[in-house]
Amino acid sequence: MVRLRILAALLLIGAAAPSPVEDAVLGLKLADHARRTGDARSMLAAARIVAASGLRDADLNDGRLVAREGLPDRSPIAVAMAQEARLMAPGDPAIAAEAEAIARARPKGIVGGSWGSGPLQFRQMLPAGNRIGWTVRARGAEPAFVSAIGDGDADLHLSVADRQGRTICDERRNAYYPLCRWSPSRPADYRVTLGNAGRVPTQVVVLSN
């Protein structure tokens, strides 16, 4: 019962999140929890959250995050999570049916907008003491979000600076799940930097709108 109450609270938080990036972060965190505990139903819930967020894969190309493909017919990340749930509970027909339903689901409602379709996800192994950086173009009078998820092996340092080098966000407090949120008054470029502040390599997932 305690686990179910915690899961319900997570789903309510996800529903109230003001950004698809935060929804995607919630889904990926829940998926990590499901893998650690072998909880197939939590993995299915994570898949639904990720599918609803519109999360899609991106590559770091010439200093910018670029989506790998156009508007997807279905979320390949959510489909992979649904398959994980099926493998966690082999022989469970209810889990298999829910996983199949998620895998077949198409995007609903608005799938594109001023930021493109959904938040972007970029994965990379970041060596100890190293950092990566990229430029984002933010629209004026709209919130911008950048987040990162570590694997728990090392602290992460996420920062955002404007073209003059002034720091907009410097997130060190949440070492494993840093998130920067800002609202530029006009369109402008910003430099995002993510560093591994630990002593061992860490797998990082970057999410940005």
Q: Can you give the residue ranges of every domain in the chain?
A: 2-62+69-104, 120-208
In DSSP terms, which residues pair with 157 in a beta bridge? 195
What tens digit of pLDDT does each residue of 64-100 get? 888 776 555 667 888 899 999 999 999 999 999 999 9
The DSSP code for 163 is T
Kindly report the length of the chain: 209
Please tell me the predicted confidence (pLDDT) of residue 198: 86
Return phi, psi of residue 45, to 5°: -65, -40
Q: Average pLDDT in the 98-110 region?
A: 75
Whether 111 shows a pLDDT value over 50: the answer reads no
Environment class of 2 (CB within 10 Å of its CB; exposed 0-12, middle 13-18, buried 19+)? exposed
Whether 179 shows a pLDDT value over 50: the answer reads yes
Q: Average pLDDT in the 20-29 region?
A: 87
Whether 16 shows a pLDDT value over 60: the answer reads no
Strand order in the sheet with 188-196: 131-138, 188-196, 156-162, 167-171
| CB-based burial, 30-67: b 16+ in 10 Å, e otherwise | bbbbbeeeebbbbbbbbbbbbbbbbbbebeeeeeebeb
Tell how far CA 4 is from the center of its chain: 23
| Domain made up of 120-208: CATH architecture | Sandwich (2.60)
Task: Report CA-CA distances (Å) from 83 to 32, 103, 150.
Answer: 15, 8, 23
- Nearest Cα neighbor of 49 from 6, 78, 88 is 78
- Nearest Cα neighbor of 118 from 65, 184, 158, 169 is 65
Q: Which two tokens stand for residue 95?
A: 């889990």
Q: Average pLDDT in the 133-159 region?
A: 86
Please tell me the predicted confidence (pLDDT) of residue 121: 86
